[in-house]
Structure 1
């Protein structure tokens, strides 16, 4: 079984927005919409009473999580939203009727209606690139080597690929399993993972 996806090392992300800009460019995402949105979390005090020189902040990239049990697929009346054998969730525009049930069901708000085409769109994990053995552009353009792509099924992320031909295990600093987090799970089982170390004040995303 395969589950393609992305792991992001939040301690390495510098918030440069290269992933967000590259995604909009290559996928022709309409103005005002995003397939990959970069959020700033913080600054927050490291401890109660901390001054302005003792704060934590990180950048969180949010897009389709290509969930193991996607709610968007469940509610789609035409099977336009579907899960492929590689684990990705895709939208067949030929079948989409623009009802937006999937957009309402998505717990992360990462789908939108393309007003011109009247179909729902979202991250495809750059299927047009990955089928040719290339990286999703958001991974390929990550100058901080924070984003890594590959099969997440085994849970061993060390061999995931990144920009400049690097492997995750050769670049990222050590982390514990407790440092691996996911966006909130409401039964959809998000698969994209986030590594975040040494920020005890953060409510666990798992």
Structure 2
């Protein structure tokens, strides 16, 4: 079974917010609402440190719908509008949504909101309109630090893909050629171990999105 997700290398993320801006532009997210937020974690004292510079650490954490395998939002939806699609992503059928916001209240991550104009709940779709055509989610495509990768969890996060640099000597340095050129996570990032792979807190919902963090204390709350 396919289970699409995003893996983010937090050691590479520079907090530029390009993913948040790209998401809003590609999906028409209203002013004041976000499908993808970038949080600053820290500065915090390093373990055993004084808490004074340079004995501090910081990183950026991107938070969006985690496209859970056992989503709480789907369990409480009275109309079946919130559902798990065949590709493993969690989607909202706007034709069925009645705007009750039960799903928003049930979400452990606070990543759903009511579109006041349409009176339906919205959230990250992993750019379903793009991945259905073999493209990548816009937040992955526009990540300048090359920290975000997209793929199928069943194939392993090492196989997740992101756009890669096009050799302009090949004669086609266009945007279309760039986004079609791919590199895998394992080909791009520094080595990581099992202890470096994290998820946001699991309350029985089994979040799918993956975060890689090396050499710093994970403060994502999974403890």
Into which bin does the TM-score normalised by the smaller protein fall?
over 0.9
Displacement of 1:51 in angstroms is 1.9
Secondary structure at the aligned position of 2:201 is classed as coil
Name the counterpart of 2:57: 56
Displacement of 1:158 in angstroms is 1.6
Count residues with an aligned counterpart.
205
Displacement of 1:203 in angstroms is 6.7
Displacement of 1:205 in angstroms is 3.1
Name the counterpart of 1:199: 216
Query: Residues 78 and 95 of structure 1 are in contact (CA less than 8 Å); yes or no, is this contact kept in structure 2?
Result: yes
Displacement of 1:50 in angstroms is 3.6
Displacement of 1:201 in angstroms is 7.0
Instruction: Provide Cα deviations, 1:94-151, integer angstroms capped at 9, x if missing partner.
Output: 0000000000000000000000000000000000100000000000001111000010
Question: Residues 103, 43 of structure 1: CA spacing in aligned structure 2 closer, same or farther, 3 A cutoff?
Answer: same
Name the counterpart of 1:80: 81
In 1, the alpha carbon distance for the partners of 2:14 and 2:153 equals 24
Structure 2 residues without counterparts, runs of 5 or longer: 165-181
**Scaled by the length of structure 1, what TM-score is found?**
0.96
Secondary structure at the aligned position of 1:24 is classed as helix
Query: Does 2:142 correspond to 1:125?
Result: no
Query: Residues 142 and 163 of structure 1 are in contact (CA less than 8 Å); yes or no, is this contact kept in structure 2?
Result: no
Mapping for residues 5-84 of structure 1, pairs under 5 Å: 5-46=5-46, 47-84=48-85
**Scaled by the length of structure 2, what TM-score is found?**
0.89
Structure 1 residues without counterparts, runs of 5 or longer: none
Secondary structure at the aligned position of 1:77 is classed as coil
In 2, the alpha carbon distance for the partners of 1:204 and 1:32 equals 26
In 1, the alpha carbon distance for the partners of 2:217 and 2:10 equals 14
Query: Residues 41 and 219 of structure 2 are in contact (CA less than 8 Å); yes or no, is this contact kept in structure 1?
Result: no
Question: Residues 203, 129 of structure 1: CA spacing in aligned structure 2 closer, same or farther, 3 A cutoff?
Answer: closer
Name the counterpart of 2:188: 171
Mapping for residues 98-177 of structure 1, pairs under 5 Å: 98-154=99-155, 156-164=156-164, 165-177=182-194
RMSD: 1.3
Choose 1 or 2 for highest CA Rg: 2
